[in-house]
Structure 1
C-alpha cells in the first residue's frame, strides 16, 4: 500500500485521490495546503488524514511514501525538489515543470536520491491509447497526423472582464500550450518519438500567455500537427493517416473512442471500455513502477522531449515565464 500525500485542494486533486483509491494500491494519509484550515476542510471527507501547512514538515514526516503535486505549474519544480531531497516519491501533475531546465534538474535529482519521479499524463495510460499503438501497423506508411484539443476556458470571461485568473497568468507558467496543448503533444511523442524538427505558431493575450496555437512536428515521412486552444471549442476527431487507412480518435486527452477506417473496408470500432475517471490508469502505472522499484522509466524520456518542445515553442512565440528567469 502506497501512503499518499497531496499538495493542492482543488477538483483535480479530488479526482486523482478518487482514482488512486479505486485502484486499491493507495491510502491517503496527508493533505497540504497553505493554511491548516483549508487543508482540514478538504481532508474532512477522507478522514483520518493528517494536515500540514509546511512542505518541509510533510516531506520529512513518516506518514507518506509518495506525494501528488497539483499546485500551480510554476510551483511544481520547487515543491518536487523538497520531497525528492527528503527521499519521497513524486507524482507531478502535468506539466512536470515550467521548462526543460527544471525538468532535467528534477530527473537528475530523482536519480541521485533513487526515488520515483512521474508525470501524471493521463492521455497515454488509458486503455484506448494502447489500442492506438497496436493499430498503427494497419495504417501502412504514415503520412499525416492531426491531433486537436481545443476547449473554451471557463475562466476566459473573467480574463475578458479584467480579472487575472491563473489560467491566463504567466506568473503561474500557464497558457494554452502548457494547460491543454501538452496532452496531444505528449500523445504524439509517445507514439512517434522525438521529431527531427518543430515549428510553432500562436496568438498571445495581453497578459503574455498564448490563447491558442499550433505545433507541427516534422518526421522523415510525415508531419504531426498539434492544435490547441483555450479560447474556442473544438469538436472534430483527431486522426492518424496512413497509406492503407486512418485512425479516428475522439477526445485525444482521454481517447474516448478509436475507429479504424481502411480503404474499401467497413469502419471498425476498436474502442475498449475505460473507467469514467481516466486518471485511474496513471495511478495504476505509478503503483506498478513503485512496486518494481523502478527509478528510470520510459515516461521520463517522453516528459523531457515534451518539455524541450514546449520550451522551444514558447521561445518562438515570445511567451516568457518568471519561472524561466529562476532556472
Structure 2
C-alpha cells in the first residue's frame, strides 16, 4: 500500500520507522507547506514524490492512503480533502478538534467508501489486549484510575515567553488533547461512555490547559484520570475489581501488566511486544484496507465519537475553547 505523509515531525518519523516493518507498507509521497522541509524529509526516507500543494498531493495517483500528523486543528480539512480524492486516511489522535468535526469526517468516509481510522496506538498494543482479555479475573470492576503526566520540553520555551504549537489554542492543543486522550480512549474502549463527567484543570495564560483531572461515573463504578504537560508523574494505572486489582505500568503504552488478587496471590499477564508501538496501528489499518473493511472494530467510529464527545464536555467544564468550536 502506497502511503503519503502529511506532517514532517518526530511523530511522523516514528510512524514511518514502525510501519516500514509491516508487509505491504510503502512510502511514496510527502506533503509539507514549505519546499525545503519537504525535500529534507523526503531525502531522509528516500521518498520520490514531493508536494507543497495539498490538493495536488491528495489527488496524486502515486498514493493509496495518507497518514496525517499535522496540528490538530488541520485534521478535519486535510482528512476530508484526501478522502474526497478516494484516499484512505489514518489520522493521528486526536482525530479532530471536536465531535462535530469527526461526524463530518465519518460522513465523507462513508460517502466515498474509504477507510478512516484514528491513530490511537494504545488499543492495538499486545498488552492492552491482555488487559481487555483478562478483566474477568478481577471480578466486579469498581474503579479505573489512570495518569499520564509528562513535562513537555516545549514548556521551558513557554516559560521563556516563546509559545510553541503545543500550547496554542488555535491549533486545538493543550494537555487534554495531547496526552489526556491516552487515558480516556482506553477507558472508553474498555467500559464505554461514562454517564457523568466532572472536570478540573490548571489553565495557562496562552488559553490552553497545562494539566487537569477528570472524575467519571459509570453504573456501579467510577473512573479518575489525571494528565499534565507541566509536571511528571510515575504512577501506574489501576483497574480495581472486587476480586483483584490490575496494575498497568503505563496506560498510554502498556508494557507490564499484573493482577494482585485479594487472597494475596498475583499473576503476571504481561505478553511480549515484538515490534515498535506504532507498528500495530499501521498493521491494523493496512489489513483493513486489504480486506475491504472500512471501519476498525477497535478504534471504531463509535469509540472515537464517544471519546471526542467526552473531550468536548471536559473542555466545556474547564473553559477551554478552540476556533474550531
TM tier, shorter chain? over 0.9
Are the aligned partners of 1:23 and 1:284 in contact in 2 as well (CA < 8 Å)? yes
The aligned residue for residue 56 of structure 2 is 57
The aligned residue for residue 184 of structure 1 is 183
Matched residue SS, 1:323: coil
Map residues 3-14 of structure 1 onto 2, 5 A cutoff: 3-14=2-13
The aligned residue for residue 140 of structure 2 is 141
Within 2, Cα distance between the matches of 1:228 and 1:102? Answer: 24
Within 2, Cα distance between the matches of 1:28 and 1:106? Answer: 24
Is the aligned partner of 1:314 residue 2:311?
no
Deviation digits for residues 104-130 of structure 1 (CA, Å, limit 9, x no counterpart):
100111101111001000011100000
After TM superposition, the runs of 4+ consecutive aligned structure 1 residues lying more than 6 A away are: none
Within 1, Cα distance between the matches of 2:74 and 2:171? Answer: 8
The aligned residue for residue 247 of structure 2 is 248
Is the aligned partner of 1:150 residue 2:132?
no
The aligned residue for residue 216 of structure 1 is 215
Q: CA deviation at 1:276?
A: 5.4
Is the aligned partner of 1:42 residue 2:41?
yes
Are the aligned partners of 1:247 and 1:261 in contact in 2 as well (CA < 8 Å)? yes
Map residues 138-287 of structure 1 onto 2, 5 A cutoff: 138-275=137-274, 277-287=276-286
Within 1, Cα distance between the matches of 2:111 and 2:316? Answer: 30
Q: CA deviation at 1:268?
A: 1.6
Q: CA deviation at 1:21?
A: 0.9
Q: CA deviation at 1:17?
A: 0.7
The aligned residue for residue 119 of structure 1 is 118
The aligned residue for residue 78 of structure 1 is 77
Are the aligned partners of 2:64 and 2:88 in contact in 1 as well (CA < 8 Å)? yes
CA gap 1:296/1:276 in 2 versus in 1, 3 angstroms: closer
Within 2, Cα distance between the matches of 1:149 and 1:48? Answer: 35
Within 1, Cα distance between the matches of 2:67 and 2:143? Answer: 36
Within 1, Cα distance between the matches of 2:316 and 2:196? Answer: 15
The aligned residue for residue 306 of structure 2 is 305
Is the aligned partner of 1:31 residue 2:42?
no
Are the aligned partners of 1:212 and 1:231 in contact in 2 as well (CA < 8 Å)? yes
Q: CA deviation at 1:48?
A: 4.2
Matched residue SS, 1:206: coil
Within 2, Cα distance between the matches of 1:227 and 1:141? Answer: 23
Matched residue SS, 2:134: helix
Within 1, Cα distance between the matches of 2:322 and 2:218? Answer: 29
Are the aligned partners of 1:111 and 1:296 in contact in 2 as well (CA < 8 Å)? no
What is the number of residues matched between the two proteins? 323
Deviation digits for residues 241-261 of structure 1 (CA, Å, limit 9, x no counterpart):
000000000111010110011
Deviation digits for residues 273-325 of structure 1 (CA, Å, limit 9, x no counterpart):
1145200011111112111211233321111000011111111111111121x
Between 237-246 and 15-24, the greater mean CA deviation after superposition: 15-24
Are the aligned partners of 2:30 and 2:47 in contact in 1 as well (CA < 8 Å)? no
Are the aligned partners of 2:158 and 2:164 in contact in 1 as well (CA < 8 Å)? yes
5+ residue gaps in structure 1? none
Deviation digits for residues 66-116 of structure 1 (CA, Å, limit 9, x no counterpart):
000000111111111100111100000000010111011001111011110
Q: TM-score, with normalisation over the residues of structure 2?
A: 0.97
Q: TM-score, with normalisation over the residues of structure 1?
A: 0.97
The CA RMSD measured in Å over matched residues stands at 1.0
5+ residue gaps in structure 2? none
Within 1, Cα distance between the matches of 2:256 and 2:142? Answer: 22
Is the aligned partner of 1:95 residue 2:119?
no
